[in-house]
Amino acid sequence: MRDIFISYARQDRTRAEAIARALEDQGWSVWWDWNIPAGKTFRQVIQEQLDKARCVIVLWSATSVTSKWVIEEASEGEERGILVPVFIEKVRPPLGFRSIHAADLVGWEGEPDAPAFRRLCSDVDRLIQRPKVASPDAIVGQDIWLARRFLEQAGCETELRGDFLLVPHIKGRLQEFAPLYVMTVRDAPTEDTVAALAREGGSAGILIYGEPPDELARLGIARARMRENVSIIPIPLAEVERALVESSAAGVLASYADRYLPGANLYDDRNAISDALTFFGRTAVLNRLQGDLTNLQGVGVFGLRKSGKTSTILQLDLTLRGYPVVRVDLQGHGEKTRFGRELLQEILDKLIARAKSRVEVPEELASPLREAAAASEIALDFQHKVAGLAPLLKSAGFELPIVCCLDEMERILPVPSDPRERVQEFNAVFGSLRALSQESRILALLVTDVHPDCNRINHWAQPDTATNPLYNFFKELYLGPFDKEETDRMLTDIGRLMGIGIDKQAVAAICRQSGGHPYLARQLASRAWEKSCGAGASEIQYAQAKQYIEKPFSYSGLLESYLSRGIWEDLDKRHSRMEMSILRSLALSADTWVRESSLVTSSAADAREILNALIWLLDVGLVARRDQPIGSEYRIAVPLLAQWIEMGVVPSEVHS
């Protein structure tokens, strides 16, 4: 039995041979040569090899798309769910194959490490390694297979119905919507995809997608809810894969059902957003992160609390589906002096889980780090295990580097009052990670924090400690507010997904009050919907919602709590008196621009300290600046914050 059958036009034989040899170098057996043994016909041999193949690769070119033989062979692969199309020229596939994701090897010159070829290997590997579904007629496509495993892990029975999965019975809130149809799309779902799922019947359907839906597909989901009373529940394919690794399918399915079934308030997202449909405004950031991290550039993502740092990491995980991405929340490691061993072990555990989802992991790599050891005592063992896992992950179809994302660095960053041992733990952990990045070149590191201290501090306050291994290591990237257009799009699109509208005056007022900060904008819209409309309303209208947008502190303590604890108390703990003083001064002149010279002369502080404070406030979007011939002028960028400060709702720091 051959692993792979390659279908191609005779004129493309040279390209076919190059691809076949490269796949054979990966350890697969490939049938591609048309030498026919004596005593057998061409048709007999082709059919035998097709019947035995576990994967059919079709090479689309200007010649092959018109070849009767190639189209027939591709059709058989498609019918059995084992087809992997590959473009070797920029052509339009034949009718019937245009909705199938194809690998792009146009311009590929045989490099085994080329991203496009690694993605092809990943597709083939997942197809060949998967167990066969017990069906007498066909082996379903790999994404349908993943969806089936996901649903069965969540406790659902499934049946294959053509291009769909049928869930006849289901527990929980979805029970009343059964039977449910499920569709999987490897690329971005289109308007036609959504319409096809909505037509299958029922009042709800599940759409599992590989890439975020385009604008028309988003509108299609909204239209299905508003006009056809059909709730489409979109779930990213990467979320499905992660749930299978972490055995969390039931929780993930319930979470997405709660978000997209009728009555859900999608504006009220208080936690990080893993859902691509309700994530807005950071496309350019994600593109930069993807480019930097895949090129082994360490990145620090900084910004206010609730500015979208964790959500960006979650979306990055979806964007870098082909890479082994490890996400660690550092909040659980912040209370201990010796946090290093547990943190390094968590990174290893998540890497091992990703590898085990596809291949066997040798015991020497899977064995835990030594218990109760200082980070410096196990650092080399950690590096050795990661170095051993990297080629294993690559052989399993992942691309390198490993991407390690550490969220909330302030939880473990040493402060002057910390004992010397804690600094040593920090240095050992991040010395190891830096070595894997710069010396071994197999790991890219991303961290998040409110302030860039981890990248700016060189010498620690504790005596007899080595310098900070992360000093000047990261490219700094700040998450500021959205512009008016992006805020408008976020508010409008989320409303559509909820089946409601929002008038232009309400959108403009929310944009102004929030200063474009996505969390504040969403919470203002959430309060407006809940207080002025309720679940039965079809539109948020400014006339009814005005008081909840313009004077929100009278109706909700949530925004006051965020401004107090998320911004002001954070500045207070850092002794950021200059930033607090600037904000207070600008809040008292909220409707006017204040000259930089006025801020400098009105303070006894050093001018450099004032300018550094202004730079951070600008970076995170709390202050706006305009340059005039007489010099720079500033004003507070978030009227809601100015309103809060003017009310005197300031913690104990202000008593002085």
Q: Give the pLDDT score at 35.
A: 58
Same fold, 4-129 and 283-478: yes
First to last CA, the chain: 81
Q: Does residue 210 have a pLDDT over 70?
A: yes
Q: What phi, psi does 635 have (nearest 5°)?
A: -150, 165
The DSSP bridge pattern shows strands 180-185 and 164-167 to be: antiparallel
Question: Alpha-carbon distance 499 to 539, whole Å?
Answer: 9
**Mean pLDDT along residues 414-433:** 96
Confidence of residue 649 (pLDDT cuts 50, 70, 90): very low
Confidence of residue 464 (pLDDT cuts 50, 70, 90): very high
- The architecture in CATH of the region 283-478 reads 3-Layer(aba) Sandwich (3.40)
Task: Give the pair of three-digit tokens for residue 259.
Answer: 């978000």
Confidence of residue 119 (pLDDT cuts 50, 70, 90): confident
Domain 559-655, CATH: 1.10.10.10
Q: Give the pLDDT score at 654.
A: 40
Question: Alpha-carbon distance 584 to 593, whole Å?
Answer: 14
Q: If you average pLDDT over each of 74-78, 200-204, 303-307, 473-477, which comes out highest?
A: 473-477
539-555: pLDDT as tens digits: 899 999 999 999 999 88
Enumerate residues 6+ apart whose C-beta is below 8 A from 68.
Answer: none
Question: Alpha-carbon distance 222 to 233, whole Å?
Answer: 11
Q: What is the CA radius of gyration of the chain?
A: 28
Identify the residue whose tokens are 């709590």. Answer: 561
Identify the residue whose tokens are 């975020």. Answer: 212
Q: If you average pLDDT over each of 309-318, 529-538, 617-626, which comes out highest?
A: 617-626
Identify the residue whose tokens are 């289901």. Answer: 170
Q: Give the pLDDT score at 534.
A: 57
CATH superfamily of 4-129: Toll/interleukin-1 receptor homology (TIR) domain (3.40.50.10140)
Whether the bond between 179 and the residue before it is cis, its omega within 30 degrees of 0, is yes
Question: Alpha-carbon distance 223 to 1, whole Å?
Answer: 48
Is the CB of residue 406 less than 8 Å from the CB of residue 330? yes
Q: Give the pLDDT score at 371.
A: 94
**CA proximity to 310, closest of 325, 329, 324:** 329
pTM (two decimals): 0.72
Considering only 124-128, 396-400, 494-498, which range has the smallest mean pLDDT?
A: 124-128
**The domain 484-556 is classified under which CATH number: 1.10.8, 1.10.10, 1.10.287, 1.10.238?**
1.10.8
Q: Give the pLDDT score at 421.
A: 96
Amino acid (1-letter code) at residue 437: S
Q: Does residue 304 have a pLDDT over 90?
A: yes
- Which residues partner with 407 through β-bridges? 329
Confidence of residue 201 (pLDDT cuts 50, 70, 90): low
Q: What is the dihedral of CA 73, 74, 75, 79, to 10 degrees?
A: 110
HSE-CB for 229 with a 13 A CA cutoff: 3
Domain 142-262, CATH: 3.40.1340
In this structure, what DSSP letter does residue 330 have? G
> Following DSSP, what letter does each residue of 501-563 receive, concatenated?
EE-HHHHHHHHHHHTT-HHHHHHHHHHHIIIII-TT-SEE-HHHHHHHHHSGGGT-SHHHHII
Centroid of chain to Cα 85: 26
Task: Give the pair of three-digit tokens for residue 246.
Answer: 């972490």
Long-range contacts of 482-487 (CB under 8 A, 24+ apart): 482/280, 482/281, 482/516, 482/517, 482/518, 482/521, 483/516, 484/511, 484/516, 486/280, 486/281, 486/516, 487/281, 487/511, 487/514, 487/516, 487/518, 487/521
Question: Alpha-carbon distance 639 to 646, whole Å?
Answer: 10
Residue-averaged pLDDT of the chain: 87
**Mean pLDDT along residues 176-201:** 86
Amino acid (1-letter code) at residue 395: S
In this structure, what DSSP letter does residue 138 have? -
Q: If you average pLDDT over each of 90-94, 162-166, 315-319, which comes out highest?
A: 90-94
Domain spans, the chain = 4-129, 142-262, 283-478, 484-556, 559-655
Enumerate residues 6+ apart whose C-beta is below 8 A from 638.
Answer: 481, 513, 514, 515, 517, 520, 621, 622
Question: Alpha-carbon distance 445 to 401, whole Å?
Answer: 10
